[in-house]
Chains A and B, each alone.
Chain A
């Protein structure tokens, strides 16, 4: 089994799809981290909720896809806001490790409730525009993969626009740079934090919706996706949105290449080996600042 250039190209194509999802999840991590300094281990559950709520509301209320997706995004955003209010805010000044445990607890809780509501079975979602594969330079890619990659691009640009040109976005950035100074300028910190959580949950839900037709969705997919997204966020430099996206894409492609060229069995390990090597060379991630202080 010789490896041909076409095969490598195929690995890269499929890696870009998975990587886009990691990128979206990493974006969610960065949003919350910037606002609060918290690593939200429940971020993966937002992805699960996005897919599951879409699938369930299409099934239960026979909603069209766009309406179901909207329901999913709104509900997940609400859950994100509730999570902030109920669990993160009361423990704002606790140590890093306490906050890690709280968000892990939240993720276990959300997963458990999802398991009760929707049962253990996988739910398929029909691809948005058919399953007929498209061939690009000998490699095949499904229309859904294009949806995933396209959505990531759109979300990334939208985020950039929000943070660059809207007052709210600028205020959120100000809080990230120096919360105290931002408050002195009259920015209400707690509202900015709410918005960050809402946005992160919404972005997570979007990732879950576009991903669902490719991987199907299930109540317990959140954990591994969350860990990979965290990995991507760290790889790119925590708190750096662009870094997170680069980290996600890189992680996806490396994973696919690792699985294809080295060993499909050690795929998950390859991702983390790469991560640790990168951290040892550059302790603050690829695009992170000088300080590796968490």
Chain B
């Protein structure tokens, strides 16, 4: 035993040494010069074997919830980022230089998220970051990107991300505020007055609930029931049974993943007649697959991607939407969805800013902030110094699910 104890400090010292070798052995990162990007002298890039593009790649960080509870958001976002990287480089890169999107997984955990961001900023020296997928993982890194002065274009929707406006932070998804406004506008046109709310206890659900409550009086709506569910819940009967006991004309469900589909099914099984309205969080193919027959007749606000083919030909987004949808399906064998679209917008806003303004973090930030009239997957983006959320309620259309597909409601 005493032999063993004697060797303990040796062991710990060995471990620390190994750690230090691992940590210190990596070549010291080049000092971020005028914002972190090293521009090689002309001609040096030509040494890159086989590459038609000249120069060091421009590194953009991509951080998504690839595994963990929000993986159904993170995976299409990751896929889109990889697809864009290849497409952009095939088409000649950005200002003659290739781009490289360095992708990291947050596992849906805030601690992992901040560690990943630090790795991207300090070790990979990225000039901008797209993602993360969720509001929580985004809010956890705002201080970090602000201190490092690296622009962040989040794929998460919470209002807290861009309100109040933060110098280095932008977001691409359509906001809850706009989604609720669109739904309530539809409901008042239909003359509906009594709604029941069934919202997720996730960040997305909480943020939605706040907006649903806040905007109800102005839209002349009375909330007759407020229930919650967890994303992992599989039995919604208790909540639905309570809603069945009210005189709600409409049930509004706010959540992502499979829970909203289960609610649609179980509502039907319980024989609840009220019209079901879902949020843009289920604007994907999975919802229709998962809810099956119960999806029929469900109404939701959605980005235009879902109904791209039904848009009038003069819609400025139409061509882009169809192209993204077919590229994505060709490469990954799955339909493109809204979440991948958020990532498309985030990456292209960064790329666009580099093209227009330059490849340093400060130039990219300024470039994004000055972007107006940019047609992306989510809608038309107009940023300014005090609007880092670039969309308007017009980014949404109301759709109804009919015959297993979305139909535009005029």
Contacts and interface: CB of A to CB of B under 8 A. Distances in A.
A14 interface: yes
A10 interface: yes
B49 interface: no
Contacts of B234: 18, 214-215
Contact of B245 (A1, A121, A220): A1
Contacts of B72: 120-122
A164 interface: no
Interface stretch (B92-100, B162-170, B284-292, B389-397): B284-292
Interface residues of B, number: 38
A133 B271 contact: yes
Interface in A99-146: 112, 115, 119-122, 124, 126, 131, 133, 140, 142
B7 interface: no
A120 B235 contact: no
A264 B238 contact: yes
A213 to B, nearest CB: 9
A7 B269 contact: no
Interface residues of A, number: 38
Contact of B241 (A10, A126, A267): A10
Interface in B230-246: 230, 232-235, 237-239, 241-242, 245-246
B31 interface: no
A41 to B, nearest CB: 17
Among A119, A120, A256, A264, chain B packs the most CB atoms within 10 A around the CB of A120
Interface in B274-297: 286, 289-290, 292-293
A255 to B, nearest CB: 8
A1 B238 contact: no
Contacts of B258: 122, 215-216, 218
A120 B75 contact: yes
B235 A14 contact: yes
Interface stretch (B139-147, B176-184, B221-229): B221-229
A130 B226 CA distance: 31
15 contacts: A7-B245, A15-B235, A18-B235, A120-B67, A124-B290, A124-B292, A126-B292, A133-B270, A214-B234, A220-B68, A224-B232, A256-B235, A260-B242, A264-B227, A267-B238
Ranked nearest first, the 7 interchain pairs of A and B with the lowest CB-CB distance are A260-B238, A120-B71, A215-B234, A14-B237, A259-B238, A122-B258, A133-B269
Given A10-B237, A14-B237, A216-B262, 20 more contacts: A4-B245, A10-B241, A11-B237, A11-B238, A11-B241, A18-B234, A121-B286, A122-B286, A124-B290, A131-B265, A131-B293, A133-B270, A215-B258, A216-B258, A218-B258, A220-B68, A259-B238, A264-B229, A264-B239, A265-B201
